[in-house]
Amino acid sequence: MTKEEVAVKLTELFPEKAPALAQHYADYGGQLLAHVFFADEVNEPLFALLQNNYDQKTIQAYCTFIEDMYFYGNEDVKNVVEVTILERLSDEELVWFRFGNYLTNELIREINTVLIPRNTMLPVLSLPYRRRREKKRK
């Protein structure tokens, strides 16, 4: 998926974000600046939710979306996940630990074995206590 396709998927998952996407395109001359858009529309709300560990259903929806971005997105989308989303979520240890509770073992392994070796800004994400079922990837 391209960054534009992922942005549309976000508005399908969270319809209240459609006006923000339209405004983003208007503000940036019809272009999607993925790092800016996803920082505003994924990072910040998810970070706030994880700080309070509030609304676990919404947290899980964001985390599943991030996993889909990473596993199904093109290289530009994967870069947004690694550099913008994961780095921000790892800024606070408690948020990072809580984030791990919503991820599949597959993404945790990817973070620990692929992303951390090339991005020293990311701390190790240990396997959380609570696991959700592994999703089969295409």
Residue pLDDT, tens place only, 74-87: 999 999 999 999 99
Q: Per-residue pLDDT averaged across 64-79, rounded?
A: 97
**Biggest distance spanned by C-alpha atoms of the chain:** 45
Please give the model's pTM, rounded to 2 decimal places.
0.86
Q: What is the DSSP letter of 126?
A: P
Residue type, 107: L
φ, ψ for residue 136, nearest 5 deg: -80, 130
Residue pLDDT, tens place only, 27-47: 999 999 999 999 999 999 999
